[in-house]
Amino acid sequence: MKKPWSGRFKQSTDALMEQFSASISFDRKLYAYDIEGSIAHCQMLAKCKIISYAESKKIISGLNQILKEFESGKFRYDERLEDIHMNIESRLTKLVGPVGGKLHTARSRNDQVCLDIRLYLRKEAGKIVQGITQLAKTLLKLAKKHMNTVVPGYTHMQQAQPILLAHHLLAHIEMLIRDRERMEDAWKRINIMPLGSAALSGTGFPIDRKYTAKLLKFSEISHNSI
């Protein structure tokens, strides 16, 4: 099977090298984010009249069908296609025909991978923030029940002053709050949309990156394609 980057080589790559370089074994978990990003990108292409609305509707219908295949466990992976992006693109072309290839207009796997990872991390960071908050609330409830419970405090691995158990639990809450703030700060840095950077230096197509960012709920777009 011809690779998208195979033009630099005269012979086919060794099977062992293909197995080593493939990422489909782990990046398949990005399927929902890849499809979400592709739908938004397709909507933007239609808005900017780079593709027709009829083509956009057909492509999006195919992507939604692929999403159902993933969720029902019926999607068939092809290890030779290396990653989740190529697997989805190949399946899309089989479903809707050559028009499926137009989805790749004005983007590359480079900015597509970056987008998928950011969508994934944004959701996971949100889950972590929720988890930390819930744990802190649980400790607070426990602390309220032990306002008068006295326990030994420790310093340098030795018993020191007596302290209230509530005091000790509240100390952990302060630590958790700092962890949550760090994660919230990371979330802000994650929430920047890279799509439109294309392979390296952007694209010559008249795209609307801010529109795509709005569809995907990004607060900002990246300002340098490299």
Q: Which residues contact 187 (CB under 8 A, 6 or more apart)?
A: 122, 125, 126, 129
For the stretch 68-119, pLDDT in tens is 999 999 999 998 888 999 999 999 999 999 999 999 999 999 999 999 999 9
* pLDDT > 70? residue 7: no
Exposed, middle or buried by CB within 10 Å (0-12, 13-18, 19+), for 212? Answer: buried
For the stretch 110-165, pLDDT in tens is 999 999 999 999 999 999 999 999 999 999 999 999 999 999 999 999 999 999 99
Helix (H), strand (E) at residue 193: strand 192-193
Give pTM, 2 decimals.
0.89
- Are the C-beta atoms of 41 and 103 separated by less than 8 Å? yes
Number of helices (H), then strands (E), in the chain: 8, 4
